[in-house]
Structure 1
């Protein structure tokens, strides 16, 4: 995710859609008007297949679907359940995945960013902040997208962030600086082997395509460049597809068109035509933006949108047992925690931010949404930055029981994906995960 903090003016723009939270929702003790679940009465079929996942006999994987919730810390899911009520019998679809553990996200320099976090998951390497698919020596290292391509599989990247942002970039190109977004766009055109890249980022692509050489490269590399959903729908599944459907990222989950689930469904439809199988990354990137400005309400909506996409991946795996589904995060943003679990260190840390940014963000949100008692919400942020906290791992499919009840280094998830795709030697780390 972007290393930036949105201004208060950006927070105030949420007012137009946040009023929907009070419609038909049930106040929690303390007076807060809370959002309804996205699917208050889910179809029985949905509940049935989620409850039957442990009965499926999964086979050697041909397909791997990786879902990354950008900044999705340990408490993002319980907070969403508490605030929105859960989508399927009080839980998210994610929580039905049978193999559950945790991952250490520290990078080579300590606190991770999305570049180092993405590189660990994409390449099986822990590296430095800002590095994209490079080791600490700034040498290019193979990504799971490149590995899958070399094995004849189709590959795709879907995000509700900009496609030149750090997480999708770590899976599609190699670069020493995540901030060079126009150059990342050029590299995605020139060097990426991903068959599909779908998300936001039109502003940076407009800048990159001011160079006529890259407009010509789109044609030379048989790339369909789409800027509308209608163009994506019309894509004939020949050559490559790059789609930038909004200038930057999809800011409001309730206004997103297409939704992350729609983009995921389209990618699955296109990639599953491959007889050799596929690798698909789906990033819920916009949730990180919400956490950086302490907007727990928009975060909840983004989590529900992410879960809608995950439910499609789970359904696909249930129907195609040669598929692995993994859900995890690149790092934690915001240090979200239940109010009753505050400790002296966290309280002091929060007080420090109250004298600066957090107080401004929270005051702006409360002023914009007088019908919601923010103080009554059961979870709160403790920082506007990333943390060193572990993140959750949820998995389904052949061999994923190795994550159940375990704490792994995040690079080990990348190595597992590489091995599942067919390369047991994918990634390379020393014993403690750092180089």
Structure 2
């Protein structure tokens, strides 16, 4: 089976059909409202690949824990729906996120609730550190620098691979900063922000602010917010932006059109800064208030005016396009406004950016389908206090929205009278591709460091008998003849252990339309004119182990 693990739920969404069990839909099963219809062991085993990845795409949802994923899924897809990207990754585990507290060492106290600096530093360096610390070890106090720890991005850069760093926050914020800078305090983002990091100032012989270090590390594609930091003057006089352009040949782009116009890295690395601070969330705010709360059973989130800013999926797609090369690449991409809007008790803002993350995961999976030596990891950095509750009176602050099911969902924020805070619970981690199986079980976020760099491959059992193909298909049960001719019927087809897959629309002995899809299946649209009555959608999967087929019946009405 290919490593492309797209959930084939788009057809169901377009046609009103709910497929329960994302992995079942794409792995060759026929999911029902009760769950999966057959054992998945062989199909999961077929996706285990112990080889080292050539490309690594790490997608981070800041503050994205299971509660926030569930709230966003309920709103966007319904309780029985699934995200087409995020929920399609076959290997899923739980990840702990604790950090350390400052002290004398070497045995530092545990910080059970951490901020984004030590958590992002954890997967970047494979080591624990203290709050506020960026890819630098613990020490006796926050203002005392620790030991610089090398990062995954820096290691891949040293190997000659291209590297990228994308965020919807300021690119100098904690999570993107941890990928390629080292400093004792996350607040030291630009040259004018160095009050707590005096030893790191370039005029004092240090590496400079986070903004300066990111360009000094020659990140090939650096995209997000934070222009104000790069407009700050360096100790030497020019702004960081001017320094990047003059000293490292960075090409600056400031809007979506400028980003679209960049087609290669032949003329130098790209610095894309699309707003002075953090980028605009996908949805307008809906900020929770004290009970009875804000919103109600008919409240839906409204799309925000984002001006000429590219969205998260567009930035991720452009980064992948520019970084793709024969030697491979590393990309970290963060949907940051999930966390920032959770801090603001803004449920719509957080949902919108989790939706944006799912769209970016789909972009990565599309690339992986053509480049199966690509490892994709999707996770968060820490948990947050967003909780789905039973009603508007069940929290210090609450907000209610109407989900895709048409029913009200109330979320609560109860760690503060206003706003909300991080929590210390474990979070989801999921992956697809080479060495993706290493995320299963309960791991710590520091474990991702070795997985992303590529662990020593293990030996897998040899299978001598070709697996028999499996197939499943799903589509809407009824549509009109006019709809079939104009828009067609969306079909979710899935197969495993196959080399050829065809989906056909059949009436009696006549084939009305057919299309070939990828060897794991796909979502296709079949059209036919002047058809009424009963028709059948058939999937046929052929492979070394034989042939398998599945079908579903549709009723085509006159109107």
TM bin, normalised by shorter chain, reads 0.7 to 0.9
**In 1, are the aligned partners of 2:117 and 2:132 still within 8 Å (CA)?**
yes
Change (3 A) 1:51 1:105: same
Residue aligning to 2:222: 197
Which protein has greater RCO, CA pairs closer than 8 Å, 6+ apart?
1
**Counterpart among 451, 469, 488 of residue 416 in structure 1:** 451
**In 2, are the aligned partners of 1:200 and 1:250 still within 8 Å (CA)?**
yes
What CA deviation, in whole Å up to 9, does each residue of 1:249-302 have, x standing for no partner? 122214343110000110010111x21100001101011111001111221111
Q: Are 1:398 and 2:434 an aligned pair?
A: yes
Q: Are 1:237 and 2:265 an aligned pair?
A: yes
Residue aligning to 2:116: 114
Larger displacement relative to structure 2 (250-259 or 203-212) = 203-212
CA distance in 1 between counterparts of 2:432 and 2:274 reads 31
Residue aligning to 1:225: 252
| 2:443 match: secondary structure | strand
More strand by share: 2
Count of residue correspondences: 357
Q: Are 1:299 and 2:350 an aligned pair?
A: yes
Detail structure 1 runs of 4+ shifted over 6 Å in the superposition: 47-50
TM-superposed deviation, 1:243: 1.3
- The equivalences for 1:166-177 within 5 A come to 166-177=174-185
**In 1, are the aligned partners of 2:221 and 2:271 still within 8 Å (CA)?**
yes
Residue aligning to 1:429: none
Q: TM-score, normalised by structure 2?
A: 0.59
Q: Which runs of 5 or more structure 2 residues have no equivalent in the other structure?
A: 1-9, 28-42, 102-110, 140-145, 191-208, 283-302, 459-559
TM-superposed deviation, 1:134: 0.7
Change (3 A) 1:376 1:341: closer
| 1:101 match: secondary structure | strand
More helix by share: 1
What CA deviation, in whole Å up to 9, does each residue of 1:310-365 have, x standing for no partner? 111122112211000000111112x22231599xxxx7xx5xxx3xxx4xxx5xx7
Bigger Cα Rg: 2
Change (3 A) 1:71 1:213: closer
TM-superposed deviation, 1:184: 1.6
TM-superposed deviation, 1:126: 1.0
Q: Which runs of 5 or more structure 1 residues have no equivalent in the other structure?
A: 1-36, 425-435
Residue aligning to 1:275: 326
TM-superposed deviation, 1:228: 2.4
CA distance in 1 between counterparts of 2:79 and 2:352 reads 12
TM-superposed deviation, 1:177: 0.8
CA distance in 1 between counterparts of 2:447 and 2:238 reads 41
CA distance in 1 between counterparts of 2:373 and 2:334 reads 22
What CA deviation, in whole Å up to 9, does each residue of 1:155-209 have, x standing for no partner? 00111111011100001211111001112212223x2232111000011111246
Residue aligning to 1:336: 386
**In 1, are the aligned partners of 2:48 and 2:435 still within 8 Å (CA)?**
no
Change (3 A) 1:395 1:86: farther
**In 2, are the aligned partners of 1:79 and 1:378 still within 8 Å (CA)?**
no
- The equivalences for 1:24-35 within 5 A come to none
**In 2, are the aligned partners of 1:82 and 1:378 still within 8 Å (CA)?**
no
Change (3 A) 1:115 1:208: farther
Q: TM-score, normalised by structure 1?
A: 0.74
